[in-house]
Amino acid sequence: MVQQKLVLLLFSLFLTAFHKHALADQIWSTKQLHILEALWIGSLTDLGVDPSNKFSKDPIAVNLGHRIFFDKRFSGDGKVSCASCHQPLRAFTDGLPLAKGMGQSTRNTPTIIGTAYSPWFFWNGRADSQWSQALQPMEAPSEHGGARTGFAKVIYGDATYRSLYEKLFGVMPDISDKNKFPPKAAPTGAIQTRTAWEAMTTKNQKKVTGIFVNIGKAIASYEGLMIPGPSRFDNYVDSLLSGKIVTDDQILTAEEIAGLKIFIGKGACTQCHNGPLLTNNEFHNIGLPIADISEDEEGRTRGAPIVQESEFNCLGPHSDAKNNDCAELDFIKLRGISLLGSFKTPTLRNLNLTAPYMHNGQFATLNSVLNHYNQAPDAMIGKSDVLPLELTTKELDQLRYFLLSLNSYINVDPRYLLKP
């Protein structure tokens, strides 16, 4: 009888010990906790008004931008809106390797969520604000394929748009004259479009470009709402930081926690995927496979001089910023081997919705992405900044499970995710 009791006692002690083992495995060092806190969404500071867009927090600008974002009239064929590629239910991406607007784009559609925090836009960083980014696709033949006179006329001719616009930016100039303001004129795009633009007076060109810029600023005000909410990973860190003991499977599974350890340890992923948006918003060459060595693949080498020379940059005439608000542009790096073939580090939040991955949509699955990092081939252009991860198949799986724990809803009133 005594022996039976002893066995029972022994058994329960073993159970307790192994349960504790599971807990102990989760004990993070102070240094690791510091890293986790830096990745936690709670570390994301509130963003003030964008110095280059004084309307960026204005509710009327948000309303106007929301409407324009979903309106297909802002395209050459009336079939493309911002939301055609930046689909809210796919975390503002389109599920395609390469974006498809009026034509076939050469780039994968990046998400908009959290980009208000980025100093650079597009994969090669050729724009330096959300508003100046928004302008380029609108006139790109393969995307919206429209022209700025046409966009200005949509605003001018629609009572709701015109009312909102004038509340924000003041009375619109009269652009109804078809001869002075042709329906499709812009300094870029097809030859007829450019010829029509060149036939306009400089004064009229300036009026139209002013309206075009304000459209960009309204769109940016809307896009600035798209900030990620907490993921399961954030809830896990939240609990750790508040001193709670978190057991396996309570918030993250044991496999996800193992993946997190690899992410901040063996994988050295946080060298670039750091901060609460899991990106340093900088440019890196990671030796991606490319179809051919073209100017398009030069990455930041090509993007940096474009943004420096753009009339729509932070220091340009259309920006609301003061000179000392534009440090990123003022101290931009224009030369260096590290720029060649380098593209912007993407966020790792919402990876379940943003496949395919990379600037050309090279990888259809997260498995392919991780296999790429595990092998880290030499770059086909420039020099790769990564070395093989040398992880086992099990570790790669754990890393993938962790990455998918970063899925998070958008911290915005759901009505902004639908067409107004």
Q: Buried b vs exposed e over 116-144: b needs ≥16 C-beta within 10 Å?
A: bbbbbbbbbbbbbbbbbbbbbbbbbbbbb
Amino acid, res. 165 = Y
State which residue, 7 or 418, has the beta carbon closest to other proteins.
7
State which residue, 140 or 272, has the beta carbon closest to other proteins.
272
CB of 299 to other proteins, least distance (A): 14
409 closest CA partner among 189, 92, 76: 92
How is residue 363 annotated by DSSP? B
Q: How many residues does the chain have?
A: 420
324 closest CA partner among 59, 118, 52: 52
CB of 383 to other proteins, least distance (A): 8
CB of 268 to other proteins, least distance (A): 4
Place of tokens 């570790």: 395
293 closest CA partner among 338, 339, 341, 334: 341
State which residue, 106 or 274, has the beta carbon closest to other proteins.
274
State which residue, 174 or 390, has the beta carbon closest to other proteins.
390
Binding interface with other proteins (CB under 8 A):
2-3, 6, 9-10, 13-14, 17-18, 20-21, 23-25, 27-29, 31-32, 34-35, 38, 119, 265-268, 270-272, 274-275, 280-283, 327-328, 330-334, 336-338, 373, 376, 385-391
CA distance 225 to 339: 31
The whole-angstrom distance between residue 162's C-alpha and the CA centroid of its chain comes to 30
Q: Token pair for residue 83?
A: 């939301």
Amino acid, res. 399 = L
State which residue, 189 or 228, has the beta carbon closest to other proteins.
228
The DSSP bridge partners found for residue 104 are 100
How is residue 87 annotated by DSSP? B
CB of 209 to other proteins, least distance (A): 29
109 to each of 242, 306, 324, 346, 415, how far by Cα in Å? Answer: 38, 20, 32, 11, 23
CB of 326 to other proteins, least distance (A): 10
CB of 387 to other proteins, least distance (A): 4
State which residue, 344 or 359, has the beta carbon closest to other proteins.
344
How is residue 346 annotated by DSSP? P
Coil vs helix vs strand at 396: helix
Determine whether 161 is exposed, middle or buried from the number of CB atoms within 10 Å of its CB (0-12, 13-18, 19+): buried
CA distance 415 to 408: 17
CB of 15 to other proteins, least distance (A): 10
CB of 244 to other proteins, least distance (A): 18
State which residue, 106 or 280, has the beta carbon closest to other proteins.
280
Coil vs helix vs strand at 390: coil
Element (H, E) at 151: helix 148-157
Coil vs helix vs strand at 11: helix
CB of 91 to other proteins, least distance (A): 22
